[in-house]
Chain A
């Protein structure tokens, strides 16, 4: 009985050793990773959009872009108590932007001061699971959201007060013009780890390559970041005209003059016959 038991134990141990040895040979890489790591692996984020190209027709009045995403390796408990936050942004093509300020000179309002910011997005929409200031509370200095985005002036800046003033004016004007938007609450979890974000494309959205960026936060700490390019192409006759005006300006100018000549001449012919 005893020997039998010892023997069985030995056989079991031998079999285990054999299996372990076999696993070592077959999957040497996997064996190097310690067990247990899988359950505490870093949380990740995957996103997808229904399209990577948006064609804007002539009658475009703005649209909503829906972005789906999934959290990977998320802790069920932390998810349940809402410790994960997602921020999704849609950033338009970068360009310089100049802010000007008027003041009264000899009774007339004149642009007297200006500040140019380098490489700022022409349009910017942000959606988040909640107020971005609440999400970012512990993580200072992340350039996410209209209030925190990087606005670096070019050239010499007189005093710091001026800089704050011009930055505020820039944000205010862009938000008022609809090119910058935020929707706190625009990201919703549709299941425990799947979320859906909707971002607004304004009617005057610039064409070019836009960037969809998604950020995953856990208790205010940035864990993961994903980005996807999104091409915005304006189609239709309007865009063809804009393209012609910029790509073949001479031919475009000649066409404008020809239309004028024909219109003027045609009208004088038409009305003479009557």
Chain B
């Protein structure tokens, strides 16, 4: 009962805060994008490698660029009010369809990357903390520092060179075996096989962060009185570690993971490019380059939703992990 009412309050607050945030994001992004030199017609005509003045006029008309900026913004907001993300003039299809095609694979990649990062990160961090100052801690520290400092695209390429080119175990890119027409379990396995390398490349940076964070948190928690009490009452060390130390040490990690969700969405561009992965990051990047603002605004809108949802989930997760945390 109490739990449910608390949950409802959280949701109401989230919605109230989300609307102005999202509106601000749209208006700000729209205006920022308008500051970029050149418009979609310039880019498209440029890509054609040839154009006439009539082509340019026609393109601008079709892109809705022949009216003042304010009017363009109002038209966009008007569309949104009717739950339409508009059309991509470049692709000649609805933005929602373009995004819809890419959203599942992006979310899967993100989810898997975050799972890898949290799983390995927390395990590494705990191991480091438990062996603090001894050689396993030192070695793992160096390893996580390497993960942290080496750029993702390079790790990605090296993974491809090792696992695809040299060993031939995993595909070099893409999200499925194209045209194989697989179904059922084969299909799932095929998708997983394609996801391992990009998800790992994306995760390694965060593995390092979560590892360091967990190490610090575990060390701090391990010195608390209740841990000593737990050990004193005769609990086996593993139970103490898992139930009393790690669970409490998870709080800062989950907070950061919530924040990172947005970052992964944006940072995935590099990994998506290296692995030719048709994700949202690349769609957004390409829309910037092509000044296809309807698509870009759609992606940004969706991303802000995702970040808000993720943060709400983290709030709830906190309350569950630590009953003392009141969800305000």
Do A and B truly interact?
no
Q: Which residues of A contact B (CB under 8 A)?
A: none
